Amino acid sequence: MTSSPVVELVNVTRSFPGPPEVQALRSVNLRVEEGDYLSIVGPSGSGKSTMLNLLGLLDRPSVGEYYLNGTLTSVLNEEQRAALRGGTIGFVFQSFHLLPHRPVLDNVMLATLYSGVPRAERETRARAALDRVGLSHRLEFLPSTLSGGERQRVAVARAVVSSPRMLLADEPTGNLDETTSGEVMDLFEELHSDGLTLVVITHDAAVSSRAERTIRISDGRLEELG
């Protein structure tokens, strides 16, 4: 028996009321299998943000179905959606979203509160995640004292501390210089080689070219490239 894909979108449309009504996504079908490394590219206004919000269970389709980890998400209430999100998806954002007045270790540990990690394991898991991203020497530092690349590494550690099935990254190099961007993408590829499913939403051709699959969004429709 084969396992379910991590993500399956079936004829998904997301509309926003007008006037005029806007269809941000139109009849989208997408499968992301275990271990895939996928980039989603497209110009501003193409539907990338809508796609991110749907994949992350932060929004719902207007039409169609979204299966996450084999679960039909449309039948779940908000509490069930939050539990599925917390146990399945790690998020990395362009602007890091770290708590400025809490040290690095606390920032990563806090992510375990919502994902079912037993209390006794939280600090051990957080330390291991920070070691994985090369920041075991920064545990007690505040985010404001770190470089941009280090802050994004903390964000990656926070995203993977609960062993998610998929890492969903939104413009993860948008606030980083070229060298630091390359280092963060190297880290993503190390995690992918360990079996993590990666979905990276980006407008940066250098970032998208590193993925194994590239999906372009244009006017709400998907096209797989190459």
pLDDT, average across residues 19-26: 91
Q: Quote the mean pLDDT of the chain.
A: 91
pLDDT 10s digits, 68-86: 999 999 999 999 999 899 8
pLDDT tier at 131, thresholds 50, 70, 90: very high
Residues contacting residue 40 through CB under 8 Å, at least 6 positions apart? 48, 51, 199, 200, 201, 202, 214, 215, 216, 217
What percent of the chain lies above the pLDDT cut of 70? 99
In angstroms, the CA 110 to CA 189 distance is: 25
Q: Is the pLDDT of residue 33 over 90?
A: yes
pLDDT of residue 2: 58
State the Cα–Cα distance between residues 92 and 159, nearest whole angstrom. 6
Binned at pLDDT 50, 70 and 90, residue 1 comes out as: very low
For residues 184 and 152, is the Cβ–Cβ distance under 8 A?
yes
**Domain 34-47+86-225 belongs to what topology?**
Rossmann fold (3.40.50)
Give SS3 for 189.
helix
Q: Tell me: the pLDDT tens digits for 175-225?
A: 888 888 899 899 999 999 999 999 999 988 889 999 999 999 998 999 999
Sign, Cα dihedral of 209, 210, 213, 214? negative
